[in-house]
Amino acid sequence: MARINLLPWREQLREERKKQFFMLLAAVVLFSGGVIFLASQYISGQIDRQTARNNYLQTQNANLEQRIKAISELKTRRKQLLARMRIIQDLQGNRPIIGRIFDQLVRTLPDGVYFTEVKMVDKQINISGAAESNNRVSDLMRNLDASPWLESPTLTEVKAKTDDASDESAAADIGTDQANLFQLSVRQTAPAVEEVDK
């Protein structure tokens, strides 16, 4: 005898398929959620690593900038120290020259001539003084020109004594009633090596 299934098998099959579909859908959703979660974790980890790298690079850049500033400050200090050393070396080298210049000024001074003021700016020496006569001023200029440490004497002014108080004091210094006040300039020079040895 033939078996006839009178139960609603189509509806059961539909219900089973529906359950399988929902189970499959839930599995796919869970799998997709897991994949998305893992991907987001991986991406956030990569972002954190890159942020850490960026922070490290920024701190290293800040350290390098500080070192560069320190180096530039050291270079500036080095230039200042070198300039000071040059000044000190120049002063040390010029120390005996100043003594020679004063010695030459004394040696070139003829009788009857007195210096009232001597100023030196760089290598230019300005001299003010009083002399008994114009011939004494001429002797002074010849002596200055003959000196190996001095050159190019230039007479700026010569005037005879007047009744001014300053002129009277200059004349009183040389102890005569007749006085000529003069101003001249001369340049400092260095003699050749052979002349220094003499």
Q: What is the pTM of this model?
A: 0.47
149 falls within a domain: yes
131 falls within a domain: yes
151 falls within a domain: yes
Bridge partners of 155, per DSSP, are 184
Domain count, the chain: 1
83 falls within a domain: no
Which CATH number do you get for residue 187? 3.30.1360
Sheet with 124-131, edge to edge strand ranges? 113-121, 124-131, 180-188, 150-160
150 falls within a domain: yes
Range of the domain at 160: 108-197
Q: What is the pLDDT along the chain (198 residues), one digit of tens a residue?
A: 667 666 677 788 888 999 999 999 999 999 999 999 999 999 999 999 999 999 999 999 999 999 999 999 999 999 999 999 998 887 777 677 778 888 888 888 888 888 899 898 888 889 999 998 888 888 888 888 888 888 888 888 888 876 554 544 544 454 545 578 989 999 888 776 444 444
Q: Do residues 33 and 41 touch, judged by C-beta distance below 8 A? A: no
